[in-house]
Amino acid sequence: MESDIDLPECCGSGCTNCVLDRKTAKPPTSDAPNILDNSYRAFQCTSIIKCTANTFQFRFRYAGTHDSDKQLSIPPGSHLMLRAERGFRDARRPVAKIFEQWRRGIEVRPRGHVPRVEKYDKAERDLYFSRPYTPIRVDREGKAFEVLVKLETGGEMSEYFTTLDVGVVTEWKGVYGGFSWVRNGWKNVVGFGQGVGLAPIYSIMAGVLDDEEDETRLHLLYCCRDLDGVLMRSDMQAMGKYWNFGYSIYLSRESCSCEGKLARSCKCLSSRIKYNEPIFNHRLEEVDIENVLKKLVNGSFHVLICGNESFTKFVEGCVTRLGISDYYKF
């Protein structure tokens, strides 16, 4: 029998019989049956909000009619697969106004050869492609979830997202992911997120704050290019009112006309942020990570990391040098 270790990567072809169903599919977490049972389900787009120049928040609500006894269960930190037809452009749906500016800003380049992983389910016709996305919020009763999507120039699914509008029905399946939250499992959890990599860490931390019996202390270190690129800014401010949540935002490329950058604080920035908003006009450095983690070494703690490859490597290197091996990379 094929062991899980030998299984190939997900080929991104949106197969009904997906390799992920064997690798990282999560078992149901409660007694009520879940709408998401590892087959594609219809979800209608009910809102689209522009968060930054290239990141949009989409809300999707279950569009099935025969599952009134089922609930929508998506554990924090897990992801779903969205699939779309390879021929989605043939539908010639008009581009919604909300995406016009992004589309104008992109340099349109022909798609060259994009390497594909060998198709897992060869019995399935190659009609679809799929990509994973991480819900930031789930409304169990309303059977809806929200995702933050950073549109990539030349990206196939990014193009598909720009053909969506309120009312369009999409196909999602899940639930996937290797991380499981355990209530009060650690005294402290420190999350390092970068850009849209905030999603799994945000959903886990918001879940802890919603759970009155969970007393885990949470520390979020979030990295962005500039102030306009900060996602979930007002949500983080609201979370900051909880006794067990603290955060800092680091801006690596915020332009600055004063000399504050040298002093790791900046007058131009302070005029644009709220009183006591913990936003710093410099890149996250090893010393910042040390300062947070060294205070926690005497209690149990866990580290979560989500960002691009170089960010993940940098944070992983720092925590490893501090002798910490209890960390999870999304």
Ligand X SMILES: Cc1cc2nc3c(=O)[nH]c(=O)nc-3n(C[C@H](O)[C@H](O)[C@H](O)COP(=O)(O)OP(=O)(O)OC[C@H]3O[C@@H](n4cnc5c(N)ncnc54)[C@H](O)[C@@H]3O)c2cc1C
Q: Which is nearer to ligand X, 138 or 196 (CB)?
A: 196
Min separation Cβ 184 and ligand X, Å: 26
Q: Was 28 annotated as part of a binding site?
A: no
Q: Was 157 annotated as part of a binding site?
A: yes
Residue showing the smallest CB distance to ligand X in the complex: 155
Q: Among residues 79, 143, 173, 217, which is the contact residue for ligand X, using CB under 6 A?
A: 79
Considering only the stretches 95-103, 142-150, 255-263, 267-275, report the one whose residues sit in contact with ligand X under the rule CB under 6 A: 142-150
Min separation Cβ 263 and ligand X, Å: 34
Q: Which is nearer to ligand X, 149 or 284 (CB)?
A: 149
Distances (CA, A) of 184 to 76, 204, 215, 294, 302: 15, 13, 6, 21, 11
Q: Was 248 annotated as part of a binding site?
A: no
Q: Was 236 annotated as part of a binding site?
A: no
Min separation Cβ 199 and ligand X, Å: 4
Residue 132 binding ligand X, by CB under 6 A: yes
Residue 152 binding ligand X, by CB under 6 A: yes
Considering only the stretches 46-54, 146-154, 219-227, 268-276, report the one whose residues sit in contact with ligand X under the rule CB under 6 A: 146-154
Min separation Cβ 23 and ligand X, Å: 12
Distances (CA, A) of 261 to 124, 157, 219, 254: 55, 37, 24, 10
Considering only the stretches 125-133, 162-170, 265-273, 292-300, report the one whose residues sit in contact with ligand X under the rule CB under 6 A: 125-133
Q: Cα–Cα distance between 190 and 216 in angstroms, integer?
A: 10
The total of other beta-carbon atoms located within 10 Å of residue 224's CB is 22
Q: Which is nearer to ligand X, 38 or 134 (CB)?
A: 134
Residue 255 binding ligand X, by CB under 6 A: no
14 φψ region: left (φ > 0), alpha (ψ -120 to 50), beta (else): left
Distances (CA, A) of 99 to 114, 136, 153, 160, 330: 24, 21, 13, 11, 28
Please give the sequence-ordered ranges of beta strands (E in DSSP) within the chain, or none if there are none: 41-50, 55-62, 79-85, 128-133, 135-139, 144-150, 169-176, 188-194, 217-224, 245-251, 279-280, 301-306, 327-329
Considering only the stretches 66-74, 90-98, 155-163, 288-296, report the one whose residues sit in contact with ligand X under the rule CB under 6 A: 155-163
Half-sphere exposure of 300 (CA within 13 A, CB side): 6
Please work out the total of residues on this chain that contact ligand X, with binding judged by CB under 6 A. 21
Q: What is the largest CA-CA distance in the chain?
A: 64
Q: Among residues 18, 74, 175, 199, which is the contact residue for ligand X, using CB under 6 A?
A: 199
Q: Among residues 150, 217, 282, 302, which is the contact residue for ligand X, using CB under 6 A?
A: 150
Which string of b and e fits 248-280 if b means at least 16 CB within 10 Å? bbbbeebebeeebeeeeebeebeeebeeebbbb
Residue 111 binding ligand X, by CB under 6 A: yes
Residue 308 binding ligand X, by CB under 6 A: no
Half-sphere exposure of 92 (CA within 13 A, CB side): 0
Distances (CA, A) of 25 to 28, 257, 304: 9, 49, 20
Which residues are part of a known binding site for FAD?
131-133, 148, 150, 157-158
- The contact set with ligand X (CB under 6 A) reads 79, 111-112, 114, 131-134, 147-150, 152-158, 196, 199
Which residues are part of a known binding site?
131-133, 148, 150, 157-158
